[in-house]
């Protein structure tokens, strides 16, 4: 899981089993007035102090274990549905599903849950029922001189996170030939924090006013059955544009509509 998240890690094995995990991690160091108040009074910095706000201790509270105390017989409900419904496995369809029986079963289970919760704690919150994981918030106190975990070695230090260690979003659009992508004519590679919550759009526009006129002349009435409109892709050169928050981010040269077809996006 750590590797899938891009966190370098090594399993430390003892006696044939994994005993611990050694992983790479990033923290910050702040230039603070450490002596003698350990940062309580910050007049003039005198020492670099490591700080890691991502390291947290949690307090766990157990829920009511509803699955064990109020079991739901899903197999019985499935058997009831199979007996009442008409199922065609070869063609992949089902009809005459007993919707009323399903609703009655779910309502009965809901009543059982409510009765059990009220018998345990009538004023229970969602956290009381399902359990909670809360961050143990520490009050302000003198700074520690080191990290809250074992520090083995520092591989590198930097004043700004380098590009190679930033999470990025890569988006490419290329032509295709015999199923293989060609050179990208649209390529965007940006840090994910720059794109978070913002709009990235890909659009196509005619290369010239004459191309615009060609497109308009080839637009027939929609098919009365499918609603589709067939437009020749070979006669309509287009520019491809990528915009970020409405601002132009990348443009392509003129291509016909049938040229574009290979899309690749990755994080």
Domain residues of the chain, as ranges? 9-55, 66-130, 167-219+232-266
Strand 86-88 to strand 237-244: parallel, antiparallel, or no bridges (unpaired)?
unpaired
Instruction: Enumerate residues 6+ apart whose C-beta is below 8 A from 192.
Output: 166, 167, 168, 169, 267
Q: What is the pLDDT of residues 112-166, one digit of tens each?
A: 999 999 999 999 999 999 999 998 888 878 999 999 888 888 888 998 888 888 8
Q: What is the pLDDT of residues 222-266, one digit of tens each?
A: 777 776 766 555 555 666 667 766 666 666 655 554 454 444 444
Q: Which has the higher per-residue pLDDT, 37 or 235? A: 37
Q: pTM value? A: 0.49
């Amino acid at each position: 899981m750590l590797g899938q998240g891009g966190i370098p890690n090594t399993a430390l094995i003892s006696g044939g089993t994994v005993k611990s995990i050694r992983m790479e991690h990033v923290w910050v160091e702040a230039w603070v007035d450490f002596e003698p108040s350990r940062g309580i009074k910050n007049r003039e910095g005198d020492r670099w102090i490591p700080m890691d706000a991502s390291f947290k201790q949690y307090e766990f509270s157990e829920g009511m274990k509803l699955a064990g105390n109020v079991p739901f017989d899903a197999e019985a409900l499935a058997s009831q549905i199979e007996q009442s419904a008409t199922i065609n496995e070869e063609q992949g369809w089902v009809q005459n599903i007993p919707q009323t029986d399903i609703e009655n079963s779910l309502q009965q289970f809901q009543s059982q849950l409510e009765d059990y919760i009220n018998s345990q704690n009538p004023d229970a919150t969602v956290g009381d029922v399902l359990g909670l994981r809360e961050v143990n918030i520490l009050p302000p106190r003198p700074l520690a001189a080191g990290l809250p975990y074992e520090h083995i070695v520092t591989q590198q230090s930097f004043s700004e996170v380098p590009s190679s260690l930033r999470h990025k979003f890569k988006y490419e659009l290329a032509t295709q030939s015999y199923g293989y992508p060609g050179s990208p004519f649209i390529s965007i590679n940006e840090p994910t924090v720059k794109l978070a919550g913002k709009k990235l759009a890909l659009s196509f526009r005619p290369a010239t006013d004459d191309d615009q006129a060609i497109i308009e002349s080839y637009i027939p009435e929609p098919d009365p059955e499918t609603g589709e409109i067939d437009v020749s892709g070979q006669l309509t050169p287009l520019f491809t544009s990528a915009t970020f928050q409405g601002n132009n981010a990348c443009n392509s040269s003129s291509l016909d509509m049938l040229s574009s077809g290979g899309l690749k996006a990755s994080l």
